[in-house]
Structure 1
Amino acid sequence: MRINENTLLEGNKVALVPYNAEHVPRYHEWMKSPELQQLTASEPLTLDQEYSMQKSWRDDEDKCTFIILDKQQWAASGAEDEQCMVGDVNLFLTDPTDPTLAELEVMIAEPSYRGRGVGKEVTRMMMCYGVTKLGIKKFQAKIGLDNDVSISMFKKLHFQEASVCRVFREVTLELTVDGSVGSKLLDDMCYVKERDYRQTRSNRTELVSH
């Protein structure tokens, strides 16, 4: 999805940036992990396949993806995105008959960033983006039954259990964003800043070079 190809979202702990080709090598290294393959129900890909996947995720109209960066490291050091990558977050429009329904997926790939509130902030930032930019009114999260940490996080964000699939060993959690839920979400995340990604990168490069 190209709607976010020049979007930078800045929260307290993280910055969300569009998934570009320069992010692929680090992402590819992450996805060699059997743990992450299991948590994301993914198969290992070659580097060339990962580049093709990145391009398709950028172009497909039913996928919206951001790379998660450590905001403090990224902002303070002038480091390249790849050095600050923490994980990724995705919205999938899974029902062609209902464009207001989206599946939400968050991956905190770097173990040292887990349990620090990063996933919670990223999830709420992505939900705000989905509501305000994509018109999403209902979110789903499909999580492996063994992933207690993720299940607990989504339930703390008021997602409710909708179904359990014993065959695929996953639970589906849902949250409908009605008036009160939407208002509270937007109020709670009013500190998030949206910037021009290319311009911000250009400005950072100029500061570092001087």
Structure 2
Amino acid sequence: MRLNENTKIVGKKVILVPYCAAHVEKYHEWMKSPELQELTASEPLTLQEEYEMQRSWREDEDKCTFLVLCRTTYEQTSDEIYSLVGDTNLFLRIEDDVEDVNAGCQVAEAEIMIAEPEARGKGYGWEAMLLLLKYALQNLNIKKFEAKIGTKNEKSLHMFGKMQFKEVSRSAVFEEVTLVLIVDEEWIKWLDGQVTLRCENYRSTGSHK
């Protein structure tokens, strides 16, 4: 979305940057992986389609996307492309269930993908997701978060459970679990104890560095 196109978020282990055209080729290579296609319930795209998707993510007001960099690698190399390890997304909508206490409020479906195998298990996904949730709280007025995760993706189910998301439904047909987090003061206090949001100005040069 346009809101975050000039925003960089700096964490302890990761740096989040907007998804720009310079990143597309590496992202396209990631998504050739059958494993990632299954984990993200995605179909493979052509490179041209991937560029079109990047433009959509940049311009659509119902999507908020950041790519995840390993901070240590980036500080050593100053190379964004080489430092990329994954992405994290929010898909926004207005709650239209009249029986939901958050009816009429902004809801965000959260996703996280650590694409580089050697970057998994190091806490990058945990920190990146928490930073994005905190960014959404401060900038998008989110009252409710959701996550839809494959039933076989035990690591993600465990991670979102630790973040206090609660299972609300399970689909045998789609092999998917829906988790929900209702934002309240107690959870915000917990989140504040986990991560500090540090935003800086980001300007893509269109190059790899």
- Relative to the length of structure 2, the TM-score reads 0.91
Q: Distance in 2 between matches of 1:168 and 1:178?
A: 30
Unaligned runs of 5+ in 2: 97-103
What are the Cα deviations for residues 34-71 of structure 1, in whole angstroms up to 9, with x where unaligned? 00000000000000000000001111110000000011
Q: 1:87 corresponds to which residue?
A: 86
Q: 2:101 corresponds to which residue?
A: none
The residue identity in structure 1 corresponding to 2:86 is G
Q: 1:43 corresponds to which residue?
A: 43
Q: CA RMSD in A?
A: 1.5
Which structure's residues are more often helix, by fraction? 1
Q: Distance in 2 between matches of 1:187 and 1:147?
A: 27
Q: 2:201 corresponds to which residue?
A: 196
Q: 1:116 corresponds to which residue?
A: 122
Q: CA deviation at 1:187?
A: 3.8
Mapping for residues 1-210 of structure 1, pairs under 5 Å: 1-79=1-79, 81-95=80-94, 97=96, 98-190=104-196, 192-198=197-203
Deviates more, 1:94-103 or 1:106-115: 94-103
The residue identity in structure 1 corresponding to 2:74 is W
Q: Distance in 2 between matches of 1:12 and 1:129?
A: 15
3-state SS in 1 of match to 2:203: helix
Q: CA deviation at 1:138?
A: 0.9
3-state SS in 2 of match to 1:93: strand
Structure of higher RCO (CA pairs closer than 8 Å, 6+ residues apart): 2
The residue identity in structure 2 corresponding to 1:146 is K
The residue identity in structure 2 corresponding to 1:29 is E
What are the Cα deviations for residues 148-194 of structure 1, in whole angstroms up to 9, with x where unaligned? 1100111111111110011100000111111111122124322x321
3-state SS in 1 of match to 2:132: helix
| Contact 1:57–1:63 (Cα < 8 Å) also in 2 | yes
Q: Distance in 1 between matches of 2:189 and 2:26?
A: 36
Q: CA deviation at 1:76?
A: 2.5
Unaligned runs of 5+ in 1: 206-210
3-state SS in 2 of match to 1:9: strand
| Contact 1:93–1:99 (Cα < 8 Å) also in 2 | no
Q: CA deviation at 1:116?
A: 1.1
Q: CA deviation at 1:137?
A: 1.4
| Contact 2:95–2:107 (Cα < 8 Å) also in 1 | no
The residue identity in structure 1 corresponding to 2:92 is L
Q: Distance in 1 between matches of 2:106 and 2:195?
A: 21
Q: 1:208 corresponds to which residue?
A: none
